Structures are given as structure tokens and as C-alpha cells.
Amino acid sequence: MSTKMITLPQGLTFDFRNLLHEQGVTPRDIDHLQDKIDAAHREIQTLRETGFIPHHCSKDGSPEDVLFTQLPYLDRGHDHLNTTETVQQLITWGESLKNQVDTVVSLGIGGSFLGNKVLFDLQCGEFWNELTPAERGGRPKYYFSGNNVDPAHTSQLAEHLQRDARITPDYHVLLQIISKSGSTMETMACFFVLQQKLKEANIKTTVVAVTDPRDDEKETILHKMAVKNGWQIFRVPDGVGGRFSVFSDVGLVTGAALGFDIHAFLQGARDADQQTQAADPFENMALLNAVLKYLAYVKYGRNIEVFMPYSNTLKSLAEWYIQLLAESLGKKYDRAGNVVHYGRTPIVAVGTTDMHAQVQQHQEGTLDKVVQFVRVEQWNPDPVIPNPYPEFPAFNAFTNISMSQGLDAALAANAEAQISAGRLNATFTLPQLNAYYVGQIMYILALSVAYEGALANVDAFNQPGVEAYKTIMKTKLKPEN
């Protein structure tokens, strides 16, 4: 074990040298926290084994298991969680779309959108929808909607689909609705508008529902709609909040449609789970990440976390993490009912883009931030920057090197400048940008907030603040008499 970083056997590393040092979080701080660390470890081990978290209830007040740690595994015996059969069903369904469905529109918000966008960006990239069907291997174009009640975006998307239909014979659109309840206003409003616009244009439309699969007295609206209309149904599992659901059908349905390597993604998460079981935080990457961020916050006032991947592709990972951190740890009450107003404010940044936008504040602004960098070690392709204008010496500093060398130099310079000014930061390094390593880091981040919830004694798995605005919004949506 290095005193500066933890490296998993497959190569993913957590470099914490700029967080744990005599001018930052100190080894003595960790020693003084040992009893809480031990208790948090025991709590999460119990969670892994049984799904039990102290004092956790569903929004209706009934006790609820927390089962996200089971998702990377197949055939664990829990209803509605992943099995060999259900994963294969997803893959088979995704294959059936090839050369049959021209466009998929995924409709969801929060955890039904953010994790899916990570998988799309990793698998497809920014220009996917501009490729020909042959270049996409017969896979459909893919758009996201239902994540805002935005009249302009929804109308523009409908017009775009209608335009595609005019130039594509037998044009076929699949609307993929992801909602546990089926009553989420943003998602269903966009679905209704798009479905109507497609119908008016006589465009062939298929619907898939990803929702709570129960068919008892608690059957959801969306499940009833799907059964009545004969739509394909995939499952939103019990005991898995939206921000943890990317490893379930909720996220994997997007992966399946696009040919994403679901098995590698789950294997990455599974290996991460196996390699984060130790009670010693210096042998448990997820636990150490939680301990250091917790101490940086409660002892040193670092109440903002900037999540800054050095990759445009991973911007959506940062956006997913924003929800994970904000909803999990931003809590008014602790589990004993005391008012604590716990939680860091998360911020998305992208390197090097935001070195020219946010870093002035990170470097010299209020001393209230911890910056979490994410780096990719090996890029493919990795172009060498040419020097077509050698008569200008200013270009010599960054030409005739690979683009990744420029990216790494920028990250290292940013980290070093920050630590010289008393700014705390840490770096995750992914050996490659692929399904396996993204599965690892997403699982480690999810587990880290679970550990930190235990350290802070807050419920990392509820979201009462969200329920508060939803209750008020319902009254505002009612037409006036």
C-alpha cells in the first residue's frame, strides 16, 4: 500500500497525496476518526449482506431495503434485480433493434437520464447521430428527452424526427419511457407531446416502458399503460434509488440499444465491490475517498466538491455524480432527528475547458472547495499535435507531443498550483476509457456516498427535499377554478 495512492488490481488508481498531508487532512485526523470509520465499515458490510440500513424508510414511511450493492451480481435471488436471464433479454432486445428501428428517444429524468447519458457518451460519442446507418452498424440514432418540460427542445426534437421521416423510407421511432411511478411530470409530458406529433405525421412508433414491474394493488400507471397497449416492459428494481440505478435495467436498457458491453460494465462494478471490502481505509478505495472528503468538509470547511474529469466524454459522469452526491448527502436531519444541514455542494467542471473558466475561483476564491480530478491514462486514438508553422516559436511548447500529454500536463499543473495555495484535490485515473473502468468508478463513487452517509449519520438513500417541492408543484399544476 502506497501512502500516496491506492491502485486496484486492474489498474484504476486513487491518488490522494494532495488531500492527505500536513497542510490538509492529516493522518492524525483519520486516527481520531477510527471508531466512526469502523462503525461505517460494519454498517456497509451489513448493507451488502442484508440490504439493511439503520433508520431508512421509503417515502411512504415503511422500512425499505437498500439493494444497489447487489446489482453488479447476477442471480442473487432478489426479485427484480439482475439475473443472467434478464441481462440476456436486454441484450437480445437491443440486437432486435438493429436495422429495424431508426431512432430511439429515451425519456427520463434524474436517475432515469443521467446514468444513461454516461453510457451513451462512452459508447457513441458526440457525433453518433450524424453517422450513416452502416457506420452505426445498424444501431439506431439516439436522443434524450423527458428531462425537462422545455417547449423549445421538445418541439425541435419532434420537428427533427418528422424531417428524418420525410427522407427515410419506413421510418420507425422507439419511445423508451423510464419512470418507476409512471407519473413523473417532465417525462410523461414530453412523451405525450412526442407521441402525438409522431402520430400526426403518420410515423411508425413503438413504445417500451421501464417501470415498477408489480401488477398487484400498487401497480403503477405506466405499468398499466404498458400492459393495456402491449408495450415491452423492463424493470425498475425495488430497493434501488434512481441515482444508483445505472447498473439495473434503468441504465442497461440504453446500453443494450446501443451495443454497449453490459457484461464488462457489470464486471467492473463487481470487481470494484470485491476490492472495497477491507476495514482499513488505506486498503479500501471507496472508504478512503469517503473518509477524506468527510474530514475535509467537517473539519476544514471544504463544503463544495468540484468534480473535474479531463475528458469531454466524461462530462456526463460529472453530471451523474452531481445528483449522486447532492441527493444522497444533502440532508437537513441526521438519523437521530437532529438538524445538521449536512452535505457538500457539487459542481461540474471539465478539464481543460474550465481551467479557462472556473479555475480562477478554485485557485484564489473562498477556501471552501475540494477538487476531484478524473484522468484517463491511455487514449485511443491519441493524435500527435503537429507544428505546421515552425516559424512561430510560441507553438513549440505544445507541438510534437500527443494530445494526451498536453491533457496530463494541464491536469498536473492545475493540481500542483492548487496544492501550493492550500487547495485540496485528489485524482482518479482510469487506465482506459471503456465500459469496464467506467463501471468500476461509478460503483466506487456510489459506494463512497454510502460510506459517507454512515460517517455523517445521515440517510444517503432517501430524498425528502425532493418530495417537498413535488408536493407543492402538484398544487400549482391544478387549474384555477
Query: Which CATH number do you get for residue 136?
Result: 3.40.50.10490
pLDDT on residue 1: 40
Cβ–Cβ under 8 Å, residues 147 and 108: yes
**Does residue 478 belong to any structural domain of this protein?**
no
Whether residue 481 lies inside any domain: the answer is no
Confidence of residue 267 (pLDDT cuts 50, 70, 90): very high
- Kindly state the DSSP code that residue 124 receives in the 8-state scheme: T
pLDDT at 471: 83
The pLDDT of residue 91 is above 60 = yes
- Buried b or exposed e, range 140-166, using 16+ CB within 10 angstroms: bbbbbbbbbeeeeebeebbeebbebbe
pLDDT in tens, 37-52: 999 999 999 999 999 9
In a domain, 472, yes or no: no
Instruction: List the catalytic residue out of 59, 199, 204, 470.
Output: 470
Catalytic-role residue among 43, 327, 331, 362? 327
Q: Residues 422, 275: one domain?
A: yes
Sign of CA dihedral 14, 17, 22, 24: negative
List b or e across 175-214, with b for residues whose CB sees 16 or more CB atoms inside 10 angstroms.
bbbbbbebebebbbbbbebbbebbeebebebebbbbbbbe
Position 395 confidence tier, pLDDT thresholds 50, 70, 90: very high
476, part of any domain: no
pLDDT at position 479: 65
Predicted TM-score (pTM) of this structure: 0.96
Is residue 340 domain-shared with residue 372, that is, in the same domain? yes
What's the mean per-residue pLDDT of the chain?
95
Give the separation between CA 79 and CA 242, rounded to whole angstroms.
17
Same domain for 175 and 86 = yes
Q: What CA dihedral angle connects 401, 406, 412 and 413, to 10 degrees?
A: 110
pLDDT tens-place string over residues 411-456:
999 999 999 999 999 999 999 999 999 999 999 999 999 999 999 9
Look up cell 431508426; give the residue: 102
Domain boundary among 223, 241, 260: 260
Residues facing 235 on adjacent strands: 211
Listed in order, strand segments (DSSP E) in 96-230 are: 103-107, 141-145, 172-178, 204-211
Domains contained in the chain, number = 2
Q: What is the pLDDT of residue 62?
A: 86
Maximum distance among all Cα pairs of the chain, rounded to whole angstroms: 77
Residue 312 and residue 366 in one domain: yes
- Final residue in a domain of this structure, among 227, 260, 293: 260
Active site residue 327: yes
356 labelled catalytic: yes
The angle formed by the CA atoms of residues 157, 185 and 201, to the nearest 5 degrees, is 35
pLDDT tens column, 152-188: 999 999 999 999 999 999 999 999 999 998 889 999 9
Per-residue 3-state assignment (H helix, E strand, C coil) for 429-447: EEEECCHHHHHHHHHHHHH
Enter the C-alpha cell of residue 286.
471507496
pLDDT > 60? residue 481:
no
User: Domain check: are 296 and 378 in the same one?
Assistant: yes
Residue bearing the bigger pLDDT, 136 or 479 = 136
Residues 414 and 361 placed together within one structural domain of the fold? yes
Is the distance from CB of 282 to CB of 1 less than 8 angstroms? yes
Q: Is residue 365 part of a domain?
A: yes
SS3 302: coil
What range does the domain containing 157 cover? 68-260
Q: Do 144 and 285 fall within a single domain?
A: no
pLDDT per position as a tens digit, 339-373: 999 999 999 999 999 999 999 999 999 999 999 99
d(CA 205, CA 174): 6
Same domain? For 226 and 331 the reply is no
Q: What is the pLDDT of residue 215?
A: 83
Are 163 and 38 in a shared domain? no
pLDDT at 59: 80
Domain boundary among 260, 284, 304: 260
**Is 427 a member of any domain?**
yes
How large is the average pLDDT for residues 295-317?
98
52 and 166 co-located in one domain: no
Is the separation of the CB atoms in 314 and 328 below 8 Å? no
**For a pLDDT cut of 70, what percent of the chain falls above it?**
99
Residues 344, 116: Cα–Cα separation, whole Å = 24
Tell whether 385 and 439 lie within a shared domain: yes
Average pLDDT over residues 287-307: 98
The DSSP H or E segment spanning 232 is strand 232-235
Residue 227 lies in a domain: yes
pLDDT at residue number 480: 60
Catalytic-labelled residue, pool 356, 476, 478, 480: 356
Q: Please give the helix or strand (H or E) that residue 342 lies within, else none.
A: strand 339-342
Per-residue confidence band for 13, with pLDDT thresholds at 50, 70 and 90: very high
Active-site residue 470, yes or no?
yes
Domain annotation covers residue 146: yes
Mean pLDDT of 184-197: 97
Please tell me the least confidently modeled range out of 31-35, 180-184, 214-218, 255-259: 214-218
Indicate whether 170 and 302 sit together in one domain.
Answer: no
Residue 301 in this model has a pLDDT that exceeds 90 = yes
